[in-house]
Amino acid sequence: MAKPDVLISEVGPRDGLQNCAETMPLASKTAWIAAEAAAGVTEIEVGSFVSPKLLPQMADTADVVAFALTVPGLDVAVLVPNLKGARMAVEAGAHKITLPLSVSETHSLRNIRRTHDQVIEEAKAISDMLDELPEDQRPHFEGSLSTAFGCTLEGAIPEDLILRLATRLMEAGCDEVGLSDTTGYGDPASIKRLIRTVRGEVGAKNLTGVHLHNTRGLGLANALAAYEEGITTFDSSLGGLGGCPTAPGASGNIVTEDLVFMFESMGVNTGIDLDALMACREIVAKALPDEELYGFTPKAGLPLGFKGAPVPAAAE
């Protein structure tokens, strides 16, 4: 199969659902994941291994992972807040784990109850645990620099602190770092600047993905800016579900449907069938009737004659 030009990583079953008042039934989660995979989505963050007392929406993550592993060609990602969560993710068989390190220490304490030093210690412990596994059984390990573009609790974060934390995550054993605009404070100029700065510190191959929010309507503009800087992995959420429960005022993620449409209309191949993707909204809407689903493309429909980007030729 030919590789798409960009990877769209669906985070709705984790980042989307964690901000919902209702808990989606397991059968609906698995139907959603199966439908998105059938539409061409090849990476889905299906849940997080956190305390069910804190996030009851994530209590069935192990069962969701077990199902997702049966879906052909799907990379199964999860979020872990600590070593305990990472061990649970490994036991479940997840392909990718993400440890969030908020560059705003105030947010870090509220979000995962850890200081910066404590998160780095967790990262090192996770890396040591993964090193004990056979190489073909080790999940990819990402350290996510959350609130990297600003925090509702602290405001702007000094770049030198962000760079130090990025370096410390790599030294602790992460395979890569990601930049997360948790609060939607980023703009295209700041997106470009921070990507260049962090890549200058850790290397371009160690920063390939961004997680962006649409809090002030700049989500797609920021995604385009990141793409122009060479970023190839983009997190997004079906219907724009999501936000951060511990960051006041942070609203939903980039709408997957709009993100895919933007890239496909530009001739950038995502490997995703837009009609099939938009049909997935019916599953979510039925399971969460009180949640508002966002997105301009699903509401307007595809332009007459729209074909999307040409599929890239398979490598010989």
Q: Which residues contact 160 (CB under 8 A, 6 or more apart)?
A: none
**Per-residue CA distances from 274 to 38, 176, 257, 278, 306 (Å):** 11, 30, 7, 6, 10
The rounded distance, in Å, linking the Cα atoms of 268 and 197 is 25
Q: Which residues contact 207 (CB under 8 A, 6 or more apart)?
A: 166, 176, 177, 178, 179, 195, 198, 199, 231
Q: Is 20 designated active site?
A: no
Question: Are the C-beta atoms of residues 56 and 85 closer than 8 Å to each other?
Answer: no
Strands 176-181 and 7-10: unpaired
- Rounded to the nearest 10°, the torsion over CA 260, 263, 265, 266 is 180
Long-range contact pairs involving 54-57 (C-beta distance under 8 Å, separation at least 24): 55/18, 55/245, 56/23, 57/17, 57/18, 57/20, 57/23, 57/24
Question: Are the C-beta atoms of residues 259 and 214 closer than 8 Å to each other?
Answer: no
And the tokens for 203?
């290397």
| Active-site entry in 20, 151, 244, 280 | 244
The rounded distance, in Å, linking the Cα atoms of 214 and 46 is 21
Amino acid identity at 136: D
**Rg of the chain's alpha carbons, rounded to an integer?**
18
10 Å CB burial of residue 236 (0-12, 13-18, 19+) is buried
18 Cα distance to chain centroid = 13
- Give catalytic residues, as residue numbers: 244
